[in-house]
Structure 1
Amino acid sequence: METQEKSILRVVTSGSVDDGKSTLIGRMLYETRSIFEDQLEAVKRTSERRGQQEVDLALLLDGLSAEREQGITIDVAYRYFETPTRKYILADCPGHVQYTRNMVTGASSADCAILLIDARNGILTQSRRHAFLVSLLRVPRMVVVINKMDQVGFSREVFERLVAEYRAFVERLDLPDITFIPVSALRGDNVVMRSAAMPWYGGPSLLQHLEALPTTHTRNLVDFRFPVQSVLRPNQDFRGYAGRIASGAIRPGEPVLVLPSRVESRIKEVLLAEKSLEEGIAGQSVVLTLEDNVDVSRGDMLVRPHNLPLQTKRFEAVLSWMGEAPLETGCAYLLRHGTRNVKAVVTRVYHAIDVDTLRRTPAETLDLNGIGKVEVELASPLACDPFKANRATGSFILVDAMTHCTAAAGLILGTAGTLESLEPAALPEASPNTVWSPWNIPRGARERQAGHPGQVLWFTGLSGSGKSTLARALERRLFERGQRTMLLDGDQVRHGLCRDLGFSPEDRSENIRRVGEVARLFFEAGHIVLCTFISPYAEDRDTVRGLIPQGRFHEVHVDASVETCTRRDPNGLYAKALRGEIPQFTGISAPYEQPGSPELRLETDNVTPEALLAQLEAYLRCCGLKI
């Protein structure tokens, strides 16, 4: 009888010193029977030697002798356990400020972050610092555990006060999913099972909450990226390319492009341990074979021809500095990205980030544990993605060329000069005699009330490609599921907000500018905004993208040939344009600039609307929307 493969949840725990992280994980290991008897006996002996009356379960996590002696965690400790339904990888990160860099390591691939707060001490510096890092590293879910509730008499007032205080701080961060749970790790209250000591708490225990969390959305299943690790030639009749699928999926017969050479071929086979697969998906280590004998080497990347990553020698990034020696601009480092190594120079430090206040301060360098925005220049082009779009291909490390030690971990923001780091792009100069006021109710609060994050889906394509049909069907489904939506359609806008505009290039740009501002207003209200506009110019679409925080704007290219659109011609416009009755008609007498790297491309020539809608919903689920 076949058993269903269990899902894996990667969890990072963090917090200040002595908040009880190791005790919490030790309690979970103990109560799920995930430790050996000799381990438990060793911990009991150590506890007795210290004169402790109860077994110190934290010792299960303190693997170094220095940690056991001091009763602290100074390295990232990984532990593994499973329940009947799921497997867990737990990373226990140190709480001391000098080991903040270890938090970056532990959280870089996490599906969920558990942040502990001592109910007696309240919100401390590390509590704020680690929340910022969780936001920066795009960990999709955070659980704030208010620990040691037994030492404050299981007080509901204390719990609610800490929840309100912490929510006020994280309002300024991009943390769409936060849950608060009161526990006593030492006693086991609300860790694995619900506790009778806190009848006023109506939520699940910590483990019950973790059991219910989805994991698939944390992986990018849309953008196929395959960094080649090695070339396999066991004999002269076989040539395969081994590596781990960083994101997306691939099937035999699909076209691929080799970067940086840009040579095209097709997938012949997807092999896993000599077994041929119908599809390879993100996270699998596979061997790919190609139909053509092309030149592919370690460090190359296979992608889809119409879904390309950035290819650049200069980009902006956020660096978390880990080196003992400060960052030196102009100094050569080795940048490691996937399977590719390339010489790199940090040419500029834009600013450092104070993780306690979230303020940006001018800086010329970064010291140990410092975080800042920089510009990086490479010796040769790199195929990569912004971190907010693809965690797998949007991160890198810098290695000191002299000592060969890791100097920094980096998150790619975008090509230099085009994307902002941690905040929306700067807005155009306001009208005179006006003063900007912040939003009365922050977007985060509105999103929590709505139960989903705000998003902007920008459908672009030729007239008749199917933009409005898809957007209308999608909005109906989202609305039926109780989600807050707004559809902005080109024809409706032209009858009202933009009725004074024509179809010259200048008027088309103004039309999109106005729509972008309206979309931003609905986005700030926590809505899922669906915009269906031909928007023929890439610069205009990029301008709207700049109004929305990274990761919340999704360009959907509804791609159909002019021939298909002419055949459909739902409003008879192509017939008029071909007779010369409509000047400057996009696709006939006016240009359309196709998106180079949209978040999603839907080819509608020979695909049913139902199948296209399924692709749309699958993409949105990858983005964390519950549909």
Structure 2
Amino acid sequence: MDLEEDIRSLQLDSAEDINGVVNPEDEKPDVDNFDKMEDEDPKQEVQAQSVEAEPKAKDKEIPPVQDEEDEHMKKRHLNVVFIGHVDAGKSTTGGQILFLSGQVDDRTIQKYEKEAKDKSRESWYMAYIMDTNEEERVKGKTVEVGRAHFETDTTRFTILDAPGHKSYVPNMISGASQADIGVLVISARKGEFETGYERGGQTREHVQLAKTLGVTKLLVVVNKMDDPTVNWSKERYDEIESKMVPFLKQSGYNVKKDVSFLPISGLMGLNIKTRLDKSHCSWWDGPCLFESLDSIEVPMGDPQSPFRMPIIDKFKDMGTVVMGKVESGTIKDGDSLLIMPNKDHVKVVAIYIDEKRVNIAGPGENLRVRLSGIEEEDLLSGFVLSSAANPISTVTEFVAQLQILELLDNAIFTAGYKAVLHVHSVVEECEIVELLEQIDPKTRKPIKKKVLFVKNGAIVLCRVQVNNVICVEKFSDFPQLGRFTLRTEGKTVAVGKITAI
């Protein structure tokens, strides 16, 4: 694997005018019940064939699975989303990870160095590994969610490099909704941490969105520690940690159990694959980034539950190919499945993980699945590849428990309120048709009086209606398919979970 495996996908076509952020100073969001996540993958069963010293011609439809590939598939798989304020160093750190893990060769790096220098952007060359299109390279801003793969001794990781700029928050939501682990990248450079952390910065909104989208484990990497304004200062590192911990608690994270902090230099590649040398930083005695990622435990999904894979992209390639992450159940070569909500019967012709063809895949895996029985133009992002015996629910209305974060100025949250709903890979306009009851945040019990409208910080049970049929599940049955966010004019105004369909 000496070539860059940087696949561009997951583009959300949202018609929103994105220009706002969440105010985290209001009451703590109701995220305590959003952390029972069940989408880590089991050990994969891969049908292996013996390989002779002199391989025979590949005259069979399914190529033989090599021994080393068999070992590769036995490793657990996790999706890691890189989040944080614009210019914190997410793409650079992701590029450095790919370089250090052998996914990108020296020659490619030298080409990127020359290209960055020609643009008078010498320090951006590592980001070019993740930011592949010209617009991203010229502006120095990630727009789409970059995707790439790397491995450690025990785990296969898919990197999801989310955009940091507030204009591309819907794309960040798309990336984070597929993630098992979040890596929050913070710049230690003088002034940059403060810009990202204060009101209007994306550090806060990204943390809140990651939590409500089901990212229960967070690794906070304090980047740019080699910057002249920092020079591996323990005081600066401690200052950032002391400011972040209260906010992470307020956002619903159990800091002792689910959050780790570590210092790195993404540009120089320090404390990423190997531990920091004492000559660089005398006070740090903790793990490097790879060790920290390897040590994170994420609950396993159920391979026996009904199959669900939201479709995030589709294309033609010797038939119709769909891309997505398996949220539950197991898929096998030859399976007969349903595409919902259209109820189209399809057959699985081939399954691919990281360019490798496999016969079976379980929860947590990112797949490309070739299907027969449907045309590419009949599919949309947000459709779900589903078990035929137990298909996913399709609705135009559902009951949900909502936590109001921050409404737009002068807005009233009442029946008739309209917003854009983000649930797994669906983006759909919706309307609140009825407020059923308000819930006391302290006792978690309903407030008996009739509710006509609610303010920031309120928890409310309501009926939500969407314009088109969408595929969702109750949060209690499939957490990743039952949690959602509501956004208005570029602001995340509420987070919720579906309680009844």
TM-score range, shorter chain: 0.5 to 0.7
Query: What is the match of residue 414 of structure 1?
Result: 498
The answer as to whether partners of 1:226 and 1:303 remain within 8 angstroms in 2 is no
1:87 pairs with one of 156, 161, 168: 156
Establish whether residue 315 from structure 1 lines up as the match of residue 393 from structure 2: no
1:156 pairs with one of 204, 211, 234: 234
Residues 128 and 389 of structure 1, relative CA distance in 2, 3 Å threshold: farther
Residues 302 and 317 of structure 1, relative CA distance in 2, 3 Å threshold: farther
Establish whether residue 188 from structure 1 lines up as the match of residue 269 from structure 2: yes
Matched to 1:193, the amino acid is T
1:385 pairs with one of 473, 477, 489: 473
The 5-angstrom pairing of residues 458-473 of structure 1 reads: none
The answer as to whether partners of 1:386 and 1:412 remain within 8 angstroms in 2 is no
The 5-angstrom pairing of residues 61-140 of structure 1 reads: 61-83=130-152, 85-119=154-188, 120-121=190-191, 122-123=193-194, 124-125=197-198, 126-140=202-216
Query: What is the match of residue 32 of structure 1?
Result: 101
The answer as to whether partners of 1:14 and 1:92 remain within 8 angstroms in 2 is yes
Counterpart Cα distance in 1 of 2:385 and 2:176 = 27
Counterpart Cα distance in 2 of 1:187 and 1:210 = 19
Matched to 2:261, the amino acid is F
Q: Please give the secondary structure, in 2, of the residue aligned with 1:90.
A: strand
TM-score, normalization: structure 2? Answer: 0.55
Counterpart Cα distance in 1 of 2:225 and 2:159 = 23
The answer as to whether partners of 2:78 and 2:156 remain within 8 angstroms in 1 is yes
Matched to 1:166, the amino acid is M
The 5-angstrom pairing of residues 434-583 of structure 1 reads: none
Residues 101 and 343 of structure 1, relative CA distance in 2, 3 Å threshold: closer
Query: Could you say which structure has the greater relative contact order, defined with CA pairs below 8 angstroms and 6 or more residues apart?
Result: 2
Q: Which moved more, 1:37-46 or 1:309-318?
A: 309-318
The 5-angstrom pairing of residues 23-62 of structure 1 reads: 23-36=92-105, 39-51=108-120, 56-62=125-131
Matched to 1:108, the amino acid is S
The answer as to whether partners of 1:300 and 1:340 remain within 8 angstroms in 2 is no
Matched to 1:377, the amino acid is Q
Once the two structures are TM-superposed, the CA of residue 109 in structure 1 deviates from its matched residue by 0.6
Once the two structures are TM-superposed, the CA of residue 70 in structure 1 deviates from its matched residue by 2.5
Once the two structures are TM-superposed, the CA of residue 375 in structure 1 deviates from its matched residue by 3.6
Counterpart Cα distance in 1 of 2:349 and 2:492 = 34
Q: Could you give the per-residue CA deviations for residues 485-537 of structure 1, whole angstroms, max 9, x where no partner exists?
A: xxxxxxxxxxxxxxxxxxxxxxxxxxxxxxxxxxxxxxxxxxxxxxxxxxxxx
Matched to 2:296, the amino acid is L
The answer as to whether partners of 1:397 and 1:407 remain within 8 angstroms in 2 is no
Q: Please give the secondary structure, in 2, of the residue aligned with 1:170.
A: helix
Query: What is the match of residue 306 of structure 2?
Result: 224
Counterpart Cα distance in 1 of 2:164 and 2:425 = 32
Once the two structures are TM-superposed, the CA of residue 225 in structure 1 deviates from its matched residue by 4.3
The answer as to whether partners of 1:15 and 1:115 remain within 8 angstroms in 2 is yes
Q: Please give the secondary structure, in 1, of the residue aligned with 2:79.
A: strand
Counterpart Cα distance in 2 of 1:338 and 1:81 = 24
Residues 85 and 95 of structure 1, relative CA distance in 2, 3 Å threshold: same
Query: What is the match of residue 179 of structure 1?
Result: 260
1:201 pairs with one of 284, 296, 303: 284
Once the two structures are TM-superposed, the CA of residue 137 in structure 1 deviates from its matched residue by 0.6
The answer as to whether partners of 1:312 and 1:415 remain within 8 angstroms in 2 is no
Q: Please give the secondary structure, in 2, of the residue aligned with 1:80.
A: strand
Residues 145 and 383 of structure 1, relative CA distance in 2, 3 Å threshold: closer
Once the two structures are TM-superposed, the CA of residue 142 in structure 1 deviates from its matched residue by 0.7
Once the two structures are TM-superposed, the CA of residue 342 in structure 1 deviates from its matched residue by 10
Query: What is the match of residue 166 of structure 1?
Result: 244
Matched to 2:306, the amino acid is F
Q: Please give the secondary structure, in 1, of the residue aligned with 2:478.
A: coil
Once the two structures are TM-superposed, the CA of residue 385 in structure 1 deviates from its matched residue by 2.8
The answer as to whether partners of 1:93 and 1:106 remain within 8 angstroms in 2 is yes
1:11 pairs with one of 59, 80, 84: 80
The answer as to whether partners of 2:399 and 2:461 remain within 8 angstroms in 1 is no
Residues 90 and 394 of structure 1, relative CA distance in 2, 3 Å threshold: same
Query: What is the match of residue 210 of structure 1?
Result: 293
Residues 133 and 40 of structure 1, relative CA distance in 2, 3 Å threshold: same
TM-score, normalization: structure 1? Answer: 0.46
- Provide the aligned C-alpha RMSD in A: 5.4
Q: Could you give the per-residue CA deviations for residues 254-274 of structure 1, whole angstroms, max 9, x where no partner exists?
A: xx9xx99xxxxxxxxx98759
Counterpart Cα distance in 1 of 2:100 and 2:359 = 40
Residues 308 and 100 of structure 1, relative CA distance in 2, 3 Å threshold: closer
Q: Please give the secondary structure, in 2, of the residue aligned with 1:127.
A: helix
Q: Please give the secondary structure, in 2, of the residue aligned with 1:347.
A: strand
Residues 156 and 83 of structure 1, relative CA distance in 2, 3 Å threshold: same
Once the two structures are TM-superposed, the CA of residue 145 in structure 1 deviates from its matched residue by 0.6
Once the two structures are TM-superposed, the CA of residue 27 in structure 1 deviates from its matched residue by 1.4
Once the two structures are TM-superposed, the CA of residue 90 in structure 1 deviates from its matched residue by 1.4
Q: What percent identity do the matched residue pairs reach?
A: 24
The answer as to whether partners of 2:414 and 2:435 remain within 8 angstroms in 1 is no
Residues 200 and 389 of structure 1, relative CA distance in 2, 3 Å threshold: farther
Query: What is the match of residue 433 of structure 2?
Result: 347
Matched to 2:473, the amino acid is D
Once the two structures are TM-superposed, the CA of residue 115 in structure 1 deviates from its matched residue by 0.7
Query: What is the match of residue 143 of structure 1?
Result: 219
Residues 167 and 40 of structure 1, relative CA distance in 2, 3 Å threshold: same
The answer as to whether partners of 1:387 and 1:411 remain within 8 angstroms in 2 is no
- The structure in which a higher percent of residues are helix is 1
The answer as to whether partners of 1:228 and 1:302 remain within 8 angstroms in 2 is no
Counterpart Cα distance in 2 of 1:271 and 1:228 = 15
Q: Please give the secondary structure, in 2, of the residue aligned with 1:47.
A: helix
The answer as to whether partners of 2:95 and 2:127 remain within 8 angstroms in 1 is yes
Once the two structures are TM-superposed, the CA of residue 278 in structure 1 deviates from its matched residue by 12
Matched to 1:154, the amino acid is W
- The structure in which a higher percent of residues are strand is 2
The 5-angstrom pairing of residues 353-368 of structure 1 reads: none
Counterpart Cα distance in 1 of 2:102 and 2:416 = 53
Q: Could you give the per-residue CA deviations for residues 330-362 of structure 1, whole angstroms, max 9, x where no partner exists?
A: 6999999889999965425899xxxxxxxxxx7
Q: How many residues align?
A: 360
Q: Could you give the per-residue CA deviations for residues 64-117 of structure 1, whole angstroms, max 9, x where no partner exists?
A: 323222222233222333345433221222222222222211101101111111
